[in-house]
A and B are shown apart, each in its own frame.
Chain A
C-alpha cells in the first residue's frame, strides 16, 4: 500500500468563502438570506453564490483510491463516506464533534469526519478503518483491539482504532498517559477504555517488531 503523504492535508476549495458559509448554515433558509444580502450588497464584487443543495464536483483520495462524485458543499466528509461511498466503518455518534466515532486519518492526523466538509478534504490522503486492512487481513491496531477485547458494542471502535493508529504513526512507543490523551476525544459509552489502553500498548509492540 502506498504510504500517505502527511504533507497533503486539507485544501482550500474553489468555492468562495461566502458561499461556503451559506452552505454550512441552516440550509435553504440561510441561503435565501445570504442571497438577499448579496443582492443588496451594492458595490461588492460579484462572487459565486451557490445554493446549499446545488452539486459540485469533487475527487476524494480515500484508502489509496480515487473517488469522483457530486456533492453539496455542506455535506460533511462523514456523510459522504457513509451514505454515498458505502464506507460505513466510519461511524456517526453525534455529527457535531463530541464523540470521535467518525475519526479518520487525514494525512497521518486523526480528524473528526463530521466536522470536516467533504469539499475541504479534496486532495487530502484520507484513511478510514477499512484502509487499515491488508486485503482481508487486519492491521496491527485492529488485531490488538480484537485480542484484548477492547470494545463491547463496537460502535466507537473504528474511531478509537483510528486515533490509536494516528498516535502510533507519530509516536511508536507511547506511554499509557499518552495513549489516554490520544483517545480522549473518543467516547466509549460501553466503557472499554482500560482494554483500549492495553490494546494500544500491544499494537505498539507488534508494530515495532
Chain B
C-alpha cells in the first residue's frame, strides 16, 4: 500500500552501469505541495530562531557605530555589574578575541580597527534578551573616529582615506577575445552608455543568528544557514576543534539568498559565550545589524559600448565596471561581466572590472551575484541598439543566440540550451508583437502610459556537481527514510528529493521521510546556493535509490534461487522476467525482514567533460507609468525558463514568482543609502526606509513557462538550476518597459517615483 499502483518503475541498471534518463515520470515534474508544508503553515516547524533550551541565556553583540574607527578602550565594568549578566567578552583577551579573516585579509572577532559600521566590538550574555541589550549598552567604548570613504566612485581619488594600509584598490580583472576596435569598425551603429545599480541588502525574514550549546567538549549549534557543513568547518577551524565535535543543525531556515552561505563571527561569539557561562546561548542579530553586517549585492558602476550591424549581428562589446565588496575582499565585481561574455554571440569582447575597498559592510553572494547588474546594462543596451537599427528587440536577441559558451576557455558547448525557445515561446505566450503594437499606438492623452519590455539571461553555474553523498534507508515495511546534508532554503529541495526517490522506487512520496541539514546525523553536502542544490542532490538521491533496488534484487535472487539478471524490480514486488509467475513482494524478502533495513548510499557523479551546464531564461513584462506622479505599476510578468527537467511544477512557479518579485526590488524599490559626505553611516537600515517590494508592488499575474528539455548529459536527473536565473533579467525587462512607455531610458536603479517624476519633468522641459 506504500507503493504507487499500476505505474511503471524505471529499469534498474546493472551494477557499474549509469542509469539512463527517465523515459517517463509519474511523480517528478508534477505539481506537488511540499513534504513539510504542514509544519510550515501550522507553526510547528522549529526554525533555529525558535529554539529555546533549558537554562538558556541570550547573547547580544555591541557593534561599532562608525564606518571607520580605532577602538581605543573598552570598559565593561558597568556592563558586568547588573546581577543577571553572566558574561562579557571583548577585544584583547586572547581566549576570546580570536583570529578571523575575510578571504586572505586577517582581523579578529573584536578588531582594534573597525573598517565598517557594524563590526563587533564586545558581546554579552544575560538571563533575558532585554538584560543582554541593557548590558551591551552599558559597555563604554572610546573610539578614535577615522576618516572614511563610503562611495566607491571616490575610493581611488588621491586623497581618499585608506580602508587598508596599502590603499583602496583590491584588483582589476580583465578579459578579452577578438579585437573590439575591429568590431566597432565593422559595426553600422555603435552606442555607449553608463549604467549604475544601487547596492541591495538581502534581509531574509529570519534574522541571522544561532543557538550554541556545549556538552563537555562537544559543541552543538542551531543556525539559520544555507549550509550546515560550511558552518561546521569554519567553527571547528577557528575554535581548534575536531569536526566530529562540532554539530551544526539547520532543519528549517527562514531565507538566505546567499547571505547565509558563509559563517559569521556571531556563531563563534555565541560558542565563546556559552563556553564561558557553561550555559546555552541564543544570539540573533537585531534587524538593523543585518542591514550593516550580513552582506549586500554591491553597487555596480558600468559603462558599456556596443556595436551592431544593420542586420542585427553584434560585432563588439566593451564593458568596464567599478564595484566594491565593502571593507574586506568580498567579490565586489564577481561575475559582473558574465552576461557580456557569454549570453549573446559576439566575436569581439573586452571587459575590465575594478574592485575597490570602501568603509561599508562586506558583500556576500546575492542571488546570481553580478548577473542582474550586468543584465541591467546589457539588456537595456540591446534594446537601444534594436531601436537604432529599427529591429524588434526579440528579433535582435534571436539573431545572436549561441549554442556554446564563448566566455569560457576553449568555447565548450552547452549540454543543452533553450534560450532560443525561451525567447520564442515567451514572446508567443506573452503576446509580444500585439502588445508592442498596442503600446506604440496608444493615445498620448491623459497621464497613464503603458509599456512592454523583455530581457534574456544565462546563469554562470546551475549544473551542480560533486561532492555529495546521501543515504536512503528502506525499512522492512517498505517505507523509506532519506538522509542528506543539504539545506532546504525555501526552494523545496526536500520535496523534490522525496519525489526523485519515489519515482525511482515506485513508492508514494508521502512514504518517504527526510532527515537533513545536520552535521551530526546526515551526510556531507555543500551549501545550498548558486541554483546548484537540485542538480547536485537529485542525481545523488537517484543513485541511492538505484543502490537500494540493486540490493533488494540481489536478496530476492538469493531467496528465489534465480539469476539476478532475470529479475525485475516493479515497485511493490520483484518479478522473474522469464517466469512471470515467480514473484516476491518487497516486504516479504526475508533478507529485508532479517536486517530490518536496506541501505543505499548515493554519490554525485562527475559533470560531463568539455561541456558546460547552464540554465537560461527570458522574461517579458507590461508596466504602466503615471506621468503625473512618476509612479510605476507593474501589471504582468511572464518568465520562460530552460532549466532542464522540471522537477516539481508547483515549486517551479514559486521560484519564478519569487525571483521576479526580488528583481522588481532591484528595478524599482531597493537601494542602500550611505551618508557618504558626512558620517558614512547607513541611513536606511530598516525596512521602513529600505523598501522591499510588498504585496502592493507586484503583479498578481506572474506566469512561469517552463521550456522543458531534460538534460541527459548534465546529470542523471536531467535537472538544472532555477532559483538564480529567474531573477537575472527582471530589472532590465522593467527598465525596457518603462522606456517603451515614456521614452526615457533609466540607466540608474531604482526606478522610483522620485527619480521617474524628475526625469519626466526634464523630458517635458526639453520638449
Interface residues in B19-50 (C-beta closer than 8 Å to A): 33-34, 37-38, 40-47, 49-50
- Shortest CB distance B260–A (Å): 10
* A130–B46 CA distance with the chains assembled, in angstroms: 13
The one of A27, A133, A153, A184 in contact with B694, judged by C-beta atoms closer than 8 angstroms, is A184
Interface residues in A151-168 (C-beta closer than 8 Å to B): 151-158, 161
B40 adjacent to A191 (CB under 8 Å): no
For B691, give the chain A residue with the smallest CB separation. Answer: A187
A153 adjacent to B490 (CB under 8 Å): yes
* A155–B45 CA distance with the chains assembled, in angstroms: 10
Supposing A79-B129, A88-B43, A194-B699 touch, asked if A153 and B138 sit within 8 A by C-beta, the answer is: no
* A132–B257 CA distance with the chains assembled, in angstroms: 30
- Shortest CB distance B732–A (Å): 18
Does chain A have a CB within 8 A of B650? yes
Does chain A have a CB within 8 A of B625? no
Does chain B have a CB within 8 A of A34? no
Supposing A83-B129, A193-B657 touch, asked if A156 and B696 sit within 8 A by C-beta, the answer is: no
Decide if the interface of chain A is mainly helix, strand, loop or mixed: loop
- Shortest CB distance A163–B (Å): 10
- Shortest CB distance B446–A (Å): 21
- Shortest CB distance B517–A (Å): 13
B204 adjacent to A155 (CB under 8 Å): yes
- Shortest CB distance B695–A (Å): 5
Give the contact stretch, choosing among A5-13, A14-22, A89-97, A105-113. A89-97
B659 adjacent to A146 (CB under 8 Å): no
Does chain B have a CB within 8 A of A61? no
- Shortest CB distance A203–B (Å): 11
* A193–B702 CA distance with the chains assembled, in angstroms: 10
B42 adjacent to A142 (CB under 8 Å): yes
The one of B50, B133, B701 in contact with A88, judged by C-beta atoms closer than 8 angstroms, is B50
Supposing A152-B654, A180-B695 touch, asked if A138 and B38 sit within 8 A by C-beta, the answer is: yes
For B36, give the chain A residue with the smallest CB separation. Answer: A154
Give the contact stretch, choosing among B248-256, B387-395, B552-560, B583-591. B248-256
Contacts of A161 in B (CB 8 A): 41
A98 adjacent to B687 (CB under 8 Å): yes
For B290, give the chain A residue with the smallest CB separation. Answer: A94
Contacts of B52 in A (CB 8 A): 82-83, 86, 88
A189 adjacent to B659 (CB under 8 Å): no
Supposing A83-B129, A147-B33, A149-B653 touch, asked if A95 and B43 sit within 8 A by C-beta, the answer is: no
Does chain A have a CB within 8 A of B130? yes
Binary interface encoding of chain A residues 170-187 relative to chain B, with 1 for a CB under 8 A from any of its CBs, else 0: 000000100111011011
* A10–B221 CA distance with the chains assembled, in angstroms: 38
In this complex, the interface size class of chain A, counting residues with CB under 8 Å from chain B, is: 35 or more
* A90–B47 CA distance with the chains assembled, in angstroms: 11
The one of B252, B657, B659, B701 in contact with A154, judged by C-beta atoms closer than 8 angstroms, is B252
Binary interface encoding of chain A residues 122-141 relative to chain B, with 1 for a CB under 8 A from any of its CBs, else 0: 00000011100100001000
The one of A94, A155, A197 in contact with B687, judged by C-beta atoms closer than 8 angstroms, is A94
* A102–B42 CA distance with the chains assembled, in angstroms: 14
A155 adjacent to B34 (CB under 8 Å): no
Does chain A have a CB within 8 A of B76? no
Interface residues in A48-105 (C-beta closer than 8 Å to B): 52-53, 72, 74-75, 79, 82-83, 86-96, 98-99, 101
* A69–B107 CA distance with the chains assembled, in angstroms: 45
B202, B254, B286, B489 interface centre (most CB from chain A within 10 Å)? B254
Does chain B have a CB within 8 A of A188? yes
Supposing A187-B687, A193-B698, A194-B699 touch, asked if A27 and B130 sit within 8 A by C-beta, the answer is: yes
Contacts of A196 in B (CB 8 A): 695
A93 adjacent to B206 (CB under 8 Å): yes
Contacts of A129 in B (CB 8 A): 41-43
Supposing A91-B254, A191-B662, A194-B702 touch, asked if A154 and B287 sit within 8 A by C-beta, the answer is: no
The one of B130, B138, B660 in contact with A191, judged by C-beta atoms closer than 8 angstroms, is B660
Does chain A have a CB within 8 A of B700? yes
B137 adjacent to A91 (CB under 8 Å): no
- The A/B interface has a contact count, at CB < 8 Å, of 204
* A22–B493 CA distance with the chains assembled, in angstroms: 48
For B694, give the chain A residue with the smallest CB separation. Answer: A184
Does chain B have a CB within 8 A of A195? yes
Supposing A82-B50, A191-B659 touch, asked if A89 and B43 sit within 8 A by C-beta, the answer is: yes
- Shortest CB distance B30–A (Å): 13
B254 adjacent to A155 (CB under 8 Å): yes
For A188, give the chain B residue with the smallest CB separation. Answer: B205
A152 adjacent to B255 (CB under 8 Å): yes
- Shortest CB distance A80–B (Å): 11
Does chain A have a CB within 8 A of B491? yes
- Shortest CB distance A70–B (Å): 12
- Shortest CB distance B725–A (Å): 15
- Shortest CB distance B316–A (Å): 37
Does chain A have a CB within 8 A of B380? no
Does chain A have a CB within 8 A of B324? no
Does chain B have a CB within 8 A of A29? yes
Does chain B have a CB within 8 A of A26? yes
* A153–B653 CA distance with the chains assembled, in angstroms: 14
Supposing A184-B694, A188-B205 touch, asked if A146 and B84 sit within 8 A by C-beta, the answer is: no
Does chain A have a CB within 8 A of B688? yes
Contacts of A143 in B (CB 8 A): 41
Contacts of B695 in A (CB 8 A): 179-181, 183-184, 186, 188, 193, 196-197
Does chain A have a CB within 8 A of B213? no
Contacts of B415 in A (CB 8 A): none
* A156–B45 CA distance with the chains assembled, in angstroms: 12
* A197–B701 CA distance with the chains assembled, in angstroms: 10
Does chain A have a CB within 8 A of B242? no
B41 adjacent to A138 (CB under 8 Å): yes
Contacts of B49 in A (CB 8 A): 91-92
Q: A27-B130, A52-B130, A153-B204 are in contact. List 16 more A-B contacts (CB 8 A).
A: A26-B137, A53-B131, A88-B43, A88-B50, A91-B47, A92-B49, A93-B205, A93-B207, A98-B287, A128-B43, A151-B41, A151-B490, A151-B654, A152-B491, A192-B661, A194-B700
Pick 26 A–B contacts, CB within 8 A, sort by A.
A28-B138, A72-B130, A88-B46, A92-B49, A93-B207, A95-B286, A95-B287, A98-B686, A98-B687, A133-B42, A143-B41, A145-B37, A149-B34, A149-B650, A149-B653, A153-B252, A154-B41, A155-B47, A155-B206, A156-B205, A176-B700, A187-B694, A189-B204, A191-B657, A193-B657, A194-B698
Q: Which 7 A-B pairs have the closest CB atoms?
A: A89-B43, A191-B661, A155-B254, A153-B490, A154-B40, A152-B490, A88-B50
